[in-house]
């Protein structure tokens, strides 16, 4: 029986020390698993803890193997498959640099402000904007900008948090 590949968002609480991220990423690459998105940041400076958010895809069997192997790593304190929870919030940040030479800048700015875009830099040649949204909303924004020359763009990768407290192990 063929299982369907599904997207999973893994939230991994780890020690904030050198080499931990390399060990986690090495576990994925060493077994041929793909990382679609990766975000990491310190979340508790007193306890020296960081949260790694990894978006990956695979069958239930493969993702369960990934979670089991991650759980065996010494610096891993907690691992939650956020995508298996009833409710969570996930957002990305995108920064986009647009070529606005020969463009009606006022119309473009009005269109962008209607969807909640923040302007970071504006001059006669370029416009740099910031937007936070779901991966789907970010993709819609990029499509909306298809008629404007995108000079450069960068996306943060998904960060997620579960709602409620039912998932916390007592």
Residues forming beta bridges with residue 52, ordered by sequence position: 12, 40
Give the model's pLDDT for residue 31: 84
Per-residue pLDDT, 30: 87
Residues of the chain with CATH 3.30.70.260: 6-84
Mean pLDDT of successive 10-residue stretches along the chain, which has 170 residues: 83 96 92 92 94 93 92 93 92 96 84 92 94 95 91 94 72
- Distance between CA 55 and CA 11 in Å, rounded? 9
Indicate where the chain has its CATH 3.30.70.1150 domain(s): 89-159
pLDDT at res. 166: 65
Question: pLDDT per residue over 116-153, tens digit each?
Answer: 999 999 998 999 999 999 999 999 999 989 888 999 99
Q: What is the C-alpha separation between 156 and 13, in angstroms, rounded?
A: 19
Rounded to a whole number of angstroms, the distance between the first and last alpha carbons of the chain is 36
Of 124, 48, 44, 55, the residue nearest 92 (C-alpha): 55
Backbone angles phi, psi at 58, to 5 degrees: 170, 175
pLDDT at 66: 92
Nearest 5°: the CA angle 102, 152, 26 is: 170
Structure tokens belonging to residue 32? 């041929």
Domain 6-84 has CATH 3.50.50.60: no
Multiple choice CATH, 89-159, 3.30.70.1150, 3.30.1300.10, 1.10.260.40, 2.60.40.1180? 3.30.70.1150
Give the pLDDT score at 170. 42
User: Can you give the pLDDT at residue 2?
Assistant: 57
């Amino acid at each position: 029986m063929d299982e369907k590949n599904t997207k999973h968002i893994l939230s991994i609480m780890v020690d904030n020390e050198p080499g931990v991220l390399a060990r986690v990423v090495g576990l994925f690459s060493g077994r041929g698993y793909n990382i679609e998105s990766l975000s990491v940041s310190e979340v508790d400076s007193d306890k020296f803890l960081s949260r790694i958010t990894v978006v990956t895809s695979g069958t239930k069997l493969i993702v369960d193997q990934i979670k089991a192997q991650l759980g065996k790593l010494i610096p891993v304190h907690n691992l939650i498959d956020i995508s298996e929870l009833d409710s969570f919030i996930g957002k990305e940040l995108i920064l986009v640099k647009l070529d606005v030479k020969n463009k009606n800048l006022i119309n473009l700015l009005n269109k962008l402000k209607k969807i909640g875009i923040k302007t970071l830099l504006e001059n006669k040649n370029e416009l740099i904007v910031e937007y936070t949204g779901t991966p789907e909303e970010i993709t819609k924004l990029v499509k909306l900008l298809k008629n404007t020359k995108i000079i450069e763009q960068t996306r943060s990768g998904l960060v997620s948090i579960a709602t409620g407290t039912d998932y916390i192990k007592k």
